A and B are shown apart, each in its own frame.
Chain A
Amino acid sequence: MTRRLRSLAVVALAAAAAAPASTAGAQGGGDLPTREPGLLTVGLNLPTPGFQVGSLAGTRIVYARGLEVDLAREVARRMGLRGVRLVQQPTFAGVLSAGPKAWDVAFAQATVTAGRKRAVSFSVPYLTTDEGVLLRRGLPRPGPTSLADLARLRLCVERGTTGAAIVARRISATARPTRYREQTNMLQALQAGRCDAVILDATILSIQQAATPERYGELLGRITTGQRYGAVLQRGSALLPAVNRALNAVRRDGTLDRITARWLTVTPRDLPVIPATAGAGAVVPAPGTEPVPLP
């Protein structure tokens, strides 16, 4: 409750500060209660190749590129702002935790879930993905073809991600996957052969595999979740309507598709759905592959 009141107070203060310009409407960015007038302060959680990589000086990101960087710039432009100020949110958990933020909006491949909505506000989604399964190179043949086969392998997941939840809910309740705090370390373990397979967003895995195919084995397929990425804002942020308007505009005129095509060289939707058991057929979604409720 206290938290709620505080955020309301912030909104009220921001609204008061912006009051003289408010008659201009939402078109001009000048009246938006951003942290820095005229600029959108964007939180990122570098690095995720394809989505956001860059150069970090202190907490300021002095150089960045990727799908979410292009998207953030476009959103700021559509909000009528001069540009973006990029700052690093050191942990993914920090993006999703309740409380005040050092940024106006964060882009960090954060899947919208009911649980997370209790702590932060999400924008309208900008990308839909499933989970993917990437194998290590040199896995003995015949390789896994079903979720049941996967349960017998050394699985690795990133802590707190949808992939981690998938292992318990869809693969095996008794499997004990190795859990990594950092995505980079998990993928290095896969390359070094310490993991047989990793379960992570299919979008992220397909970018990894396409960039350095000689470092990985096969991208086995996807586990349907239909999870959707949304931009994250402090819960109850007054900027949410403007961010949503901008994202909707970016989607409507095809800009979002253009940005996605620029960075996502592989379309995860083309991957086969991994059946629950062998023989169920790798391409046709088997019964019971409906999206799982996400944590």
Chain B
Amino acid sequence: MRPLVVGARAGARRRPRRGPSAAPGAHGAGARAAHPARSVVFRAMRRSTALLACAAIALAAPAIGSAATVQFVQGEQLVTAERPGTTLAQAMNALMRGPTPAERRRQIRTYIIRGTKIRSISVDRGIATIDFSTRLVRGEAADVLLARLAQVVGTATRVRGVRSVRVQVLGGTPLGLFPGIDARRPLTTRALATPDLAPPISETDPDVAPTTSVRGLQQRLADLSYLAPHEVDGTPGPLTTAAVIAFQKWQGLQRDGIAGPATLAALQSAQRPSPITSGPGGRRIEILVDRQVVLMIEDNAVVRTIHASTGAAATPTTIGTFSVYGKFARWWSVPFRQYLPWSVAFVGGIALHEYPDVPVFPASHGCVRLPAGEAKRVYDFSSVGMQVRVLGSSR
């Protein structure tokens, strides 16, 4: 997986954050770690007089590689931010300090907990050994632990001369602390970017006998843009349930996916949804965060209304107007180590994509989760450059 560069602005980088902050961050690693790392550099220089000249040039030449690149997370992917410095210690300290306020506003975040300490850093023949305090492995949520590890490995291996990273905790080798990762060997970005899961398979509908009452419901849902015409088959299934949920979300009804009396009554009088904003002709997408639906729009008319789940409270989906920069049939999330099928990426690591579990509330890492079947439809509908608008309020 190629990293996504988000180009940091240098202005706010040094300002330490004070006081409580809702976003996760890191403090205090700087002063402690800088010294041992510097001594390592000096030791290495003393050891090899032949390399001394080269090393001096490297240290004195800020033009080449004058910026360290650190890895944060946006949506479901690692993104790169530039910071001053060239050494591993400088890069790691910048990582520990976390994103700038400006970066945070763009939903760029870190999973490394504030107060995580770097106990020592050394580099030997391309293998960096970085020893952390136990805060690096605090908590038991697999996604958080894996993202932290990916940030550390990604940042360290972007420093010149570092190929792989041996991550330690209190001077020991982590065993079972990062779910599914064997940390006994040095880790590389390539290893983390290599999928270790079987390719995803979209769940198929179970065999259920078609009924006329279901056909009537489906036809009405299709007329109102919640179901594709060819999906009106009289057979209940996940697509019909998702269509009912999308309808309930748009109408402000209870989101249970069951066509009960209130839902059936509303279906009688309901109108086809219309776009919230006016935009260019042709195809575009609106993501309505308050209603948790996605509108597929063609020439300013809604062609489909889709049940979706956007970013959870701690990791909200960025509000704004974007354009699609990439389509990936199978996107591998490097920090969270899972497949994101049928991804339509529109900013950093934020995409519309298929996910096995699409709850009726905002639940993702910042992406827009879509049910199986719907995600492929959005993928086929989209093209690079197409407008995607994320709206906080649609009423």
Contact = CB atoms under 8 A, between A and B. Distances in A.
Interface in A24-64: 46-49, 52-57, 60-63
A89 B200 CA distance: 37
Interface in B138-184: 140, 142, 168-177, 179-180, 182
B338 interface: yes
B169 A55 contact: yes
A214 B173 contact: no
* Max chain B Cβ within 10 angstroms of own Cβ: one of A46, A49, A54: A54
Interface string A160-178: 0000000000000000000
B206 interface: yes
B170 A62 contact: yes
A285 B180 CA distance: 34
A60 B175 CA distance: 12
A178 to B, nearest CB: 16
Nearest to B170: A62
B212 interface: no
A57 B198 contact: no
A12 B201 CA distance: 63
B209 interface: no
A48 B176 contact: yes
B39 interface: no
Nearest to A50: B140
A141 B338 CA distance: 22
Given A214-B338, A214-B356, A215-B180, A191 B175 contact: no
Interface residues of A, number: 29
Contact of A57 (B134, B173, B180): B173
A211 interface: yes
Interface string A180-222: 0000100110011100000000000000000111110000000
B196 interface: yes
Interface string A243-263: 000000000000000000000
B176 A47 contact: yes
What DSSP secondary structure best describes chain A's contact surface?
A: mixed
Contacts of B198: 136-138, 191-193
B197 interface: yes
Contact of A63 (B169, B338, B357): B169
A194 B70 CA distance: 35
B37 to A, nearest CB: 21
Nearest to A64: B175
Contact of B176 (A49, A136, A213, A214): A49
A215 B336 CA distance: 11
B180 A212 contact: yes
A217 B297 CA distance: 36
A57 to B, nearest CB: 4
A141 B175 contact: no
Contacts of A48: 176
Interface in B347-371: 356-357
B196 A211 contact: no
A49 to B, nearest CB: 5
A141 B200 CA distance: 15
Contacts of B196: 188, 191-192
Contact of B197 (A55, A57, A184, A192): A192
B180 A62 contact: no
A55 B173 contact: yes
Interface string B216-240: 0000000000000000000000000
A21 B367 CA distance: 65
Given A63-B169, A214-B338, A138 B201 contact: yes
Among B134, B137, B142: residue with most chain A CB under 10 A = B142
Contacts of B182: 184
B142 A212 contact: yes
Interface of B: 134, 137, 140, 142, 168-177, 179-180, 182, 196-198, 200-201, 204, 206, 338, 356-357
26 contacts: A49-B176, A49-B179, A53-B175, A54-B172, A54-B175, A55-B137, A55-B172, A55-B174, A56-B172, A57-B170, A57-B173, A62-B171, A63-B169, A63-B172, A137-B197, A137-B201, A138-B198, A138-B201, A141-B204, A187-B180, A188-B180, A192-B197, A193-B198, A211-B142, A212-B179, A215-B338
Shortest 10 CB-CB distances between A and B: which pairs? A47-B176, A193-B198, A53-B176, A55-B172, A57-B172, A138-B201, A55-B169, A46-B175, A47-B175, A62-B172
Given A46-B175, A63-B172, 18 more contacts: A46-B176, A49-B176, A53-B175, A54-B175, A55-B137, A55-B169, A55-B171, A57-B171, A57-B172, A138-B200, A187-B180, A188-B180, A188-B196, A191-B180, A191-B198, A193-B198, A213-B357, A215-B197
